[in-house]
Structure 1
């Protein structure tokens, strides 16, 4: 600890001595930063339907029926939800069949045994209150693929001013600390330029996945799916403010 403190004091004294030698017009680059936590208010949830059958037409028909039922339910019950379909796919299913080669030796070959057909349905909604009930209902016919929580455009706009003000405040605080470490005053520096283009949204911590609430099997009918419990979590909205200072 004493060594670290001594090194810090040495750096401060060295910077202070260097600052005294800085001539007018010398430039100093400083960056400020702000990190603001905001509660996620929007969910992007993905469902899919998949069927396997020896008859490709039958597999595709069942997938189409499930997707149609899900889409009609959403449009009827939830008017504000954005939805889109994607990745309609079909591929052959193979099985391993034992056989013998020309020399009579046992071998295994792949043989077509049917078709796998599927499609994805993506939903975007800010109605987080009714999200568990909606997901539970759709899971009667569709499989839940994943859930991602994020900030809506409206939430980003609301926090924009706070993000900029907080970032600029931090920049001025750092300028004052640097000036003090260099044995100068903040008034000894002139800001030539400021760049606010370092803004970003860190989406890594805002992933919140649903967990199923444990309910006694005796209290649940066989045709009823327990509602999942979703936790929206928070997003970190950040900004970096870069400034170019000039010594008076």
Structure 2
């Protein structure tokens, strides 16, 4: 009989403990809580501008002769580009002249020759072409390659398009901020109406827009073969698209 009483007592205590464990606990108070919410947004657009860098380089024992050929061919290249794409913006840059030395020769004692005389001179110049005429780009480049060489090509957006997309980018970022605030409020068991947006800091993460810096292309380490004035097959280009991103940090206080 005593055993049965003890068993009943243990069962009662266990039941009370389980009931207490199953009872819902009070959540942490969130009144007056300040929540920092990061959000992101982006828009995409087909590239509508291209920056093409063309170049010419000559090498000769006579520095003046090399420079003269570079000047003549750059002038011819400019005339070709202007004819093919009259609306293009042109800028010559990166004119360079430097000596070409023979391979270092060692003396019998193992020491290098102290004074080396240049055996030739390398002269070159770059031409930057900015245009929105992408349909005619292959023809323009092919025509220029009769005289000049193609050094690089970069597609992007015009300033006008970038400015137009800025409204869409801000709207997309702000929409994502509101979506995140709603999700956070639900997770906290609060109504969205209890949240007050205290601060909106665009680019508040410190990831500020990079400032563009213009650098002239470095002189080519190897001599480019001079282009022959013959017909060149048109190259193929795909403009692709650009993604513009934005970040925002919002500070939300719950009532």
TM-score class, shorter: 0.7 to 0.9
CA RMSD in angstroms, aligned pairs only: 2.5
1:58 correspondence with 2:68 = no
Q: Against the structure 1 CA distance between its residues 227 and 108, is the aligned structure 2 distance closer, same or farther, given a 3 Å change threshold? A: farther
Query: 1:115-126 maps to which residues of 2 (within 5 A)?
Result: 115-126=121-132
Off by >3 Å, runs of 4+ in structure 1:
104-111, 197-202
The whole-number CA distance in structure 1 between the counterparts of 2:159 and 2:208 is 14
Q: Secondary structure at the match of 1:239?
A: strand
- Partner of residue 31 from structure 2, selected from 23, 38, 42: 23
Shift of 1:46: 0.4
- Partner of residue 133 from structure 1, selected from 114, 139, 144: 139
Query: 1:223-238 maps to which residues of 2 (within 5 A)?
Result: 223-238=230-245
The equivalent residue for 1:213 is none
1:87 correspondence with 2:94 = yes
Task: Map Cα deviations across residues 209-245 of structure 1 (whole Å, 9 max, x no partner).
Answer: xxxxxxxxxxxxx922111101111111111122111
1:173 correspondence with 2:183 = no
8 Å CA contact retained: 1:48, 1:144:
yes
Flag structure 2 segments of 5+ consecutive residues without an equivalent.
1-23, 211-228
8 Å CA contact retained: 1:54, 1:115:
yes
8 Å CA contact retained: 2:199, 2:251:
yes
The whole-number CA distance in structure 2 between the counterparts of 1:77 and 1:200 is 39
Shift of 1:107: 7.2
Shift of 1:159: 1.3
Task: Map Cα deviations across residues 90-141 of structure 1 (whole Å, 9 max, x no partner).
Answer: 0111113757x4xx55876544211000011111111111111111111111
| Higher share in strand | 1
8 Å CA contact retained: 2:80, 2:143:
no
The equivalent residue for 1:242 is 249
Q: Against the structure 1 CA distance between its residues 54 and 119, is the aligned structure 2 distance closer, same or farther, given a 3 Å change threshold? A: same
The equivalent residue for 2:103 is 96
**TM-score normalised by length of structure 1:** 0.77
Pair member with larger Rg? 2
